[in-house]
């Protein structure tokens, strides 16, 4: 008889809860609610072309970026699901300048805080290119029983309890870590469940893909320019030139490089001295996943997870992927700064 070895997200969460002997199920419940929100957002994303959720909402978010209607929808869905979980006392989101603090007693007693980019890459929605949700989870540092405070949302990345992303692509995947490896779940729309499809994900020490918006080449720091030329050189041993792959959607670019090996680069430029990507809800979660899968994440000099945020919306230069590739880039940046 044919047997089906399906592990749903909830079964996996319960099974892994044993990894945390003192856990009382709060993080498990929180991650389960993330799965619910992801399924609701997925339904709308997958038919965005058919419902009036395409295009711009006419507002501008904290980053000065035109808010897409889907951004706002995704933000509202995740905020509602996280409040319903009763496990989160506050949220920092790309879509709001101020942190969102929950005032109900259940949430004020919660021990976790949540940071997210609810729909990253939203400018790709109208052209049907993959987009993603990115999130990180910390224990609160403010007093339980009270509303969350700003200090909860500027903790150094090494304090992260969990991090993950949802990739709304040709299939929809939830990839997350709680610090004991990385696991990927693919949504089976026929049963409406995220099912374990990528167990204990590992990236390669060496890769042959580099991902960067080369249209900004003239603005890049010298070390980054040198690294791009290094990627493009013909190496007698045959491992270069590397392949250039850039989707312009962080989650999609990172996910491909995680699976195949590679490096993603978002350097600073004279008009964006700290780069474009946000430390707390884009770079930190991706960095945590990268490290848990054997990779590396840096701002060109410092480990991303060691950077103490000044604000929830702080930007940093971001280089992430196969360890040897990030090492090589850091060496080239350092050599260029010494000369």
Contact 298, 326 (CB under 8 A): yes
Size of the residue set binding ligand P6P (CB under 6 A): 9
Q: Which of 67, 249, 280, 322 binds ligand P6P (CB under 6 A)?
A: 249
- Name the one range near ligand P6P by CB under 6 A: 70-78, 116-124, 300-308, 328-336: 116-124
CB of 160 to ligand P6P, least distance (A): 20
CB of residue 220 vs ligand P6P: minimum separation in angstroms? 12
For residue 120, the minimal CB distance to ligand P6P (Å) is: 5
Binding mask 47-86 for ligand P6P (x = CB under 6 A): ----------------------------------------
The 3-state DSSP class for residue 239 equals: coil
Q: Minimum distance between the CB of residue 217 and ligand P6P, rounded to whole angstroms?
A: 12
Task: Say if CB 127 and CB 70 are below 8 A apart.
Answer: no
User: Which residue lies nearer to ligand P6P by CB, 88 or 320?
Assistant: 320
Q: Is 256 in the site for ligand P6P (CB under 6 A)?
A: no
Q: Per DSSP, which regions of the chain are E strands? A: 56-60, 66-68, 88-93, 100-101, 112-120, 131-139, 160-168, 172-177, 182-188, 193-198, 209-211, 243-244, 263-266, 296-298, 318-321
Which residue do the tokens 């389960």 mark?
32
Residue 197 touches ligand P6P, criterion: CB under 6 A: no
Q: Is 96 a binder of ligand P6P (CB under 6 A)?
A: no
Residue 38: asked if its preceding bond is cis (omega within 30°), the reply is no
CB-CB contact of 107 with 89 (8 Å) = yes
**What is the phi-psi region of residue 199: left when phi exceeds 0, alpha when psi lies from -120 to 50, beta otherwise?**
beta
| Binding flag, residue 248, ligand P6P (CB under 6 A) | yes
Quick one: which of 38, 250, 265, 326 contacts ligand P6P (CB under 6 A)? 250
Helix axis angle, 222-232 to 323-338, nearest 10°: 130
179 contributes a contact to ligand P6P by CB under 6 A: no
Q: Cβ contacts of residue 276 below 8 Å, gap of 6+?
A: 266, 315
Question: Whole-number minimum distance, CB 86 to ligand P6P, in Å?
Answer: 31
Residue 285 lies near ligand P6P (rule: CB under 6 A): no
Please pick, from the candidates 86, 121, 261, 262, the single residue that binds ligand P6P as defined by CB under 6 A: 121
> Between 152 and 253, whose beta carbon lies closer to ligand P6P?
253
123 binds ligand P6P (CB under 6 A): yes
**Which residues have CB under 8 Å from 322's CB, separation 6+?**
203, 204, 205, 206, 207, 257, 261, 262, 263, 295, 296
Q: Which stretch binds ligand P6P (CB under 6 A): 1-9, 196-204, 249-257, 325-333?
A: 249-257
Residue 144 φ/ψ, nearest 5 degrees: -60, 145
Choices 12-20, 178-186, 230-238, 243-251 (CB under 6 A): range interacting with ligand P6P: 243-251
Q: Rounded to the nearest whole angstrom, what is the least distance from the CB of residue 124 to ligand P6P in the complex?
A: 7
Nearest to 254 by CA among 324, 320, 317, 187: 320
Cα distance between residue 147 and residue 131, in whole Å: 32
Contacts with ligand P6P, residue ranges (CB under 6 A)? 120-121, 123, 213, 248-250, 253, 276
């Amino acid at each position: 008889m044919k047997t089906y070895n399906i592990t749903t997200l909830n079964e996996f969460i319960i099974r892994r809860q044993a990894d945390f002997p003192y856990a009382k199920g709060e993080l498990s419940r929180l991650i389960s609610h993330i799965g619910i929100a992801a399924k609701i957002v997925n339904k709308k994303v997958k038919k965005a072309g058919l419902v009036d959720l395409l295009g711009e909402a006419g507002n501008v978010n904290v980053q000065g970026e035109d808010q897409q209607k889907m951004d706002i929808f995704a933000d509202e869905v995740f905020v509602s699901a996280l409040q319903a979980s009763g496990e989160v006392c506050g949220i920092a989101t790309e879509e709001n300048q101020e942190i969102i603090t929950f005032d109900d007693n259940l949430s004020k007693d919660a021990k976790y805080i949540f940071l997210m980019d609810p729909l990253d890459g939203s400018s790709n929605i109208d052209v049907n290119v993959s987009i993603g949700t990115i999130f990180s989870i910390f224990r609160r540092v403010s007093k339980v029983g009270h509303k969350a405070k700003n200090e909860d949302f500027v903790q150094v990345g090494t304090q992260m309890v969990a991090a993950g992303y949802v990739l709304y692509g040709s299939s929809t995947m939830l990839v997350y870590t709680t610090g004991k490896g990385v696991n990927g779940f693919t949504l089976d729309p026929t049963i409406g469940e995220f099912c374990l499809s990528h167990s204990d994900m590992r990236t390669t020490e060496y890769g042959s893909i580099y991902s960067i918006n080369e249209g900004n080449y003239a603005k890049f720091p010298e070390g980054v320019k040198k690294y791009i030329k290094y990627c493009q050189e013909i190496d007698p041993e045959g491992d270069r030139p590397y392949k250039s792959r850039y989707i312009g959607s962080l989650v999609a670019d990172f996910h491909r490089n995680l699976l195949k090996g590679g490096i993603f680069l978002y350097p600073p430029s004279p008009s964006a001295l700290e780069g474009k990507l946000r430390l707390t809800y884009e770079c930190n979660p991706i960095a945590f996943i990268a490290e848990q899968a054997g990779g590396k994440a840096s701002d060109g000099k410092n480990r991303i997870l060691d950077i103490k945020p000044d604000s929830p919306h702080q930007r940093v230069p971001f280089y992430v992927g196969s360890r040897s590739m990030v090492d090589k880039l850091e060496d080239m940046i350092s050599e260029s700064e010494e000369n």
